[in-house]
Chain A
Amino acid sequence: MKIIGLSDPQVQTSLRAAGIGMSVPEARTIAGVLGRDPTLTELFCYDAMWSEHCSYKSSRATLKEFLPTDGPNVVMGPVEDSGIVAIDDKWCVVISHESHNHPSQILPNEGAATGIGGIVRDVNCMGATVVATADPLRFGNPYGPKANKVRWVAEGVVDGIWQYGNALGVPNMGGDIVFNDSFDDNCLVNVVSIGIVRRDQIIRSRAPPLAGEKGYDVILIGKPTDSSGLGGVTFASEALREEDEETNRGAVQIPDPFLKNVLFKANDDLFRLVRESGIEIGFKDLGGGGFTCATSEMGSAGGFGMEINLDDMHTAADFPAEVLSIAETQERFLIVSPPELREKILKIYNEDWDLPNVYEGARASVVGKINTGDRFTVTHKGEMVCDVPIQHLTEGIRYNRLELPRTIRVQEPDVAEPADYNQVLLQILRSPNIASREHVYRYYDTEVMGNAVIRPGEADAGLIAPVRGEKFGIALAVDSNPFYGRISPYWGGATAVAEAMRNVAAVGAVPSTLTDCLNYGNPEKPEAFWEFREGVKGLAESCKKLYLKGYEAQQQAVPIVSGNVSFYNESPQGSVDPSPVVACVGIMKDFSKAITMDLKKAGDKLFLIGPRFDELGGSEYYRTIFGETGANVPIVRFDLERNMIYAVIDAIDEGLLAAAHDISNGGLAASVAEMALTRPARFGVELDLDCVQGGDIGMRTDKLLFSESSGFVLEAKAGSEARLEELLKSYSLEPMQIGIVTSKRRIVMSRAGECVADLDLDEARNAWTAGLVEAMR
């Protein structure tokens, strides 16, 4: 394509006409480095590799500036497709976290399904067995002006998740759903996946040492390349406009869990071959940026050059070179391996697992060679279609974006205390953001693989025991509250980390690592970039001040080992509320000690930790009862937060607790109610609010009940109360014995001798279980 000698508008016109999203200066830089006009294929390759999605061109500097990524348990930080942390001397957890927001807004079913499909490949390609997924979902207002579209998106996304995940055979162990009008035109579909791998069996996504000298093969396996997902990364790097909907549909990939299921098993045989032969290979999934991204990154990471022949690629039809190079056809992997393994590898995929007969056109094909040069060359039909410096292609570019604080006016509402707390409580329990998630997670196969110890809905985190004969358990939880992010992007980030850590602590697991998927608007707009920077600062601050348990003395931050940045979550109607979605992995040495949140026994005493503050900004109470946002967003008091998390972990380890639940959305009242309403829902509670101490003294009853200041509600095992109080005090916490579990099926709350609420358990349960069904109907 002609660039040299043309004017900026002329270049701009030809780039757009070809469907290339890059800027004119970017195109000129490429022409300058090549010393000639780039080919169409070269421009497409650069466009994909230099997209925001692949190159993190706006975000990389900020991430590097703030986020802690190292720690004593980190085996691999955020350098490849997934991060890896150690469980013990032998086993590791592999984790990856991504977004599939734009595709899910356009084609919810396919978008959400390929989200799962992509993330499990990221984990599998490290040599790991994928053992769980989780989906943090953000949908628009199901009762707002775009209710029909919102519900269509929500239903399609949930269908896509279960149809893919269940067929693949990986349990969905967590996730969350938040409805908020800022997501009316831009849903967020984040996906988290974890796997396990033995430390000595990790496979890297790079051409191994000597691959160039020995002329290693480049082998493409899986589905035949087609034109699906064309320009997916470029599409993910722009705001959504309704008039582009037709074009954007073509950028959504097509999922196939069936082929993936077979590929995973064939990959297991590949891993076995690698172990038995003792020869290192490189293995990588094909995701954003397609074939070009996977090949060039593998070569460049090993410090080698690479020559590719597209004529050797198995394809679904005769596509042009630029399509074969960057289409995001799903269910493909790339192997870099020595010639002596070639026949064995081809046999695994083409004969043992019979890919060509399982899926039309699928197979393993040798498509190129690694060399000791520094070029990435691609030939197609005898022509050289791409010949570029490989490092230049993969390094991408960097932008320093401007930031400018977004000015928003927030104020605390002046509202009267409600007269009927029973009604208020029922309304809150029925709210789509508080109601039971059962309607959705009954679609998810949580039982496949037989590893589930604690399932979604049973506690604040899911827990699996993934290795028979080993006692360790892996807990997984996700969090991000867009309502807090709207008021304060900084505290939105900080509270997301704190709550995700509280969630895994509430089952008894020690927070071990975090991932972040940072969902924001257009970073070219200074306000959006400011929100992003604030969010990252907040995340980092919580990581650094809550410490990795066991390494408090060194003030070791909890490491973030994987993540993703998703910008451009905006439409002409505006951008999404700042949403730094965090996933936390917790490790339990002995999974049999884990506890859930349902009340266990009448007569047990309930303890509150975490004083109540006047923090109802972004609260469920303000929003649902008064339609207000408020200003006093919950903050993280780092020392208090850390002490609470550690104390709960220790109390569960000592066997003092029968149940635990953290306090977040809906405050103390919702937390206590949820403990009573979670299956088997056999018990009621009696709370004496006079026992709530500390914090902001003399708060009104509604603020006391619905403040979203962090904390926990703990059910002590009978006879363990004294030891629990002692333990809590050793962490400088004030144990507040606020009530008891009763055999009466009522939720009763009183203050100063007067009854505040007295709610029938079944009536409450009906409201709580109906809320999400009604919102998604």
Chain B
Amino acid sequence: MKIAVLQFPGTNCEFETLVAVKAVGMEGEIFRWNRPAGELSGFDGFVIPGGFSYQDRLRAGVIASKEPVMSALKEEAGIGKPIIGICNGFQILVETGLLPGSIEKSSGNVDMALAQNVMVSQGKIVRRGYYCDWVNLRHEAPSKRCSGSFAIERGALLKIPIAHGEGNLVTTTPGLMKKLNDEGQVVFRYCDKNGRIIDEFPFNVNGSTESIAAICNEPGNVLGMMPHPERAFFAWQLPAFDPRKQRPDEPGPGRRVFESMKRYIEVNA
């Protein structure tokens, strides 16, 4: 079971992401953008890690989305291999049109955007732009619905950090939000520590529509998420006030995303 961790110029989370991939018992390697794209077919799954690919020029993720490796990745997605895009990886998947996966099949449209964060509290904009903090996520999809949350039960709560300037999911495509909800494509939402969805800052940390933090495509093999599970892989990485931090040998909440990916590949093999 071999995972490619994609690396574009400006990617900056590939090393810790590879650590996470390997720690759950998968093989993995970093796949540099200028390697022959055809070699991607030799891998069983893919992670597009976070960072600032091509310096976020024009729009976050848009230049990387035009790379030959992304065309090759579309084909791999088409045959059901799991792809997890984290943060900038999510932005790249959206710009590629792999997420949410168009309503009109194969139209290849970009149906949504991850816009600048706008933090709103009590009707007022209290902050904009880049933000780094730990957030609480509620798993919205049933287990086995999506590759990256395959082994996570619906309603499970995960504490994972975010660090981004553009994670505010917006769309003007009619019917898209309804479809995402109806088809179980909403994978994680931001919530409070008890799992309540409170659609304003600091709970909805970036102003995202319906507090959405992660979505998958219709078949469920492609997942995009703004939070960084690889940074919450060990319990000792948790913030000081989390009691699990004192039990450093425990797995961190983010580990479940990588375990899910592994489980998904095992089941679909």
Task: Identify the A interface with B (CB < 8 A).
Answer: 162, 166-169, 257-258, 261-262, 352, 354, 358, 441-450, 452-455, 458-459, 465, 468, 591-592, 596, 598, 679-680
Contacts and interface: CB of A to CB of B under 8 A. Distances in A.
Interface string B15-32: 110010000000000001
B132 A444 contact: yes
11 contacts: A167-B12, A167-B56, A169-B12, A257-B52, A261-B12, A261-B52, A443-B129, A443-B130, A443-B131, A450-B16, A450-B230
Contact of A450 (B34, B129, B231, B240): B231
Contacts of A166: 52, 130, 132, 163
Given A443-B130, A450-B16, A455 B9 contact: no
Contacts of B19: 450, 468
Given A167-B56, A596-B240, 18 more contacts: A167-B52, A167-B55, A168-B12, A258-B55, A262-B10, A441-B132, A444-B132, A446-B132, A447-B132, A448-B163, A448-B231, A450-B16, A450-B230, A450-B233, A452-B237, A458-B239, A592-B248, A679-B239
Nearest to B234: A450
B13 interface: yes
Contacts of B16: 448-450
Nearest to B20: A450
Contacts of B43: none
Counting from the closest, the 7 A-B pairs by CB-CB distance are A169-B12, A258-B55, A450-B16, A596-B240, A680-B241, A167-B52, A458-B240
Given A447-B161, A458-B240, A679-B241, A167 B10 contact: yes
Given A447-B228, A453-B236, A169 B13 contact: yes
Given A258-B55, A450-B231, A592 B9 contact: no
B39 interface: no
B207 interface: no
A448 B130 CA distance: 14
B217 to A, nearest CB: 27
Nearest to A659: B240
Interface of B: 9-13, 15-16, 19, 32, 34, 50-52, 54-56, 129-133, 161, 163, 228, 230-231, 233, 236-237, 239-241, 248
Given A162-B130, A450-B19, A598 B54 contact: no
Contacts of B129: 443
Given A262-B10, A354-B34, A443 B240 contact: no
Given A167-B52, A596-B240, A679-B241, A447 B231 contact: yes
Contacts of A592: 236, 248
Given A262-B9, A446-B132, A592-B248, A459 B236 contact: no
Given A450-B231, A450-B233, A455 B13 contact: no
B52 A258 contact: yes
A509 B56 CA distance: 38
A459 B240 contact: yes
A166 B50 CA distance: 11
A116 to B, nearest CB: 14
Contacts of B50: 448
B248 A443 contact: no
A680 B159 CA distance: 15
B150 to A, nearest CB: 23
Contacts of B130: 162, 166, 443
Contact of A598 (B9, B240, B248): B240
Nearest to A351: B34
